[in-house]
Amino acid sequence: MKVRLLAVTFGFFLAAGGAYAGPTPGGPDSDGDGVENAFDNCASTANASQTDTDHNGCGDACTANILCDSNGDTTVGGPDFLIFSMNFAMTVPVGTLGDCAPNGGDGIVGGADFLLFSMNFGHTVGPSGITSAQCDPSTCRCTPQ
């Protein structure tokens, strides 16, 4: 009798929503793709298909190569501009230190690099709303960090 009562009580507890794992449905959808942030593998860029080719927990829309990220922090910002400006009009190893012209660069930091840099300024990789062990912070910012 006690076992049956315990089973009924536990079943009622589950049915009432007393036990769940992970995020609950009904949260915000920042990018408007129909997938809530907590379940979205790319929360800042619309990607309704949630394609994740390499299965790292970060959608393909958030892992596209970002040109001109000289310091490797997955965001094109102020530190990259500092590197770019320090090397302007200089010869550098191809594709590094501000040389970000199309097709991998030409080894000279110049006007074409500046144009591409300005078009990519503010671009970032991620974030992914998926916080499982699959989300790899080295290739995508996982939220919460």
Specify if 90 maps to a domain.
yes
What is d(CA 56, CA 143) in angstroms, rounded to the nearest whole number? 14
Quick one: pLDDT band at residue 129, thresholds 50, 70, 90? confident
What is the tens place of the pLDDT at every residue in 24-79?
677 899 889 999 988 888 888 888 999 988 777 788 888 776 788 888 888 889 99
For residue 113, the enclosing domain spans 78-120
Structurally, how many domains does the chain consist of? 1
Specify if 95 maps to a domain.
yes
Specify if 112 maps to a domain.
yes
DSSP states of 86-124 as a string?
HTTTSB-STT-TT---GGG--SB-SHHHHHHHHHHTT-B
What is the tens place of the pLDDT at every residue in 4-26?
655 555 555 555 554 555 566 77
Specify if 125 maps to a domain.
no
Cα-Cα-Cα-Cα dihedral sign, residues 110, 90, 68, 76: negative
What pLDDT is stored for residue 145 in this prediction? 45
The token pair that represents 32 in the structure block: 């408007």
Global pTM?
0.59
The token pair that represents 112 in the structure block: 């074409």
Specify if 33 maps to a domain.
no
Non-local (6+) Cβ contacts of 2 within 8 A are: none
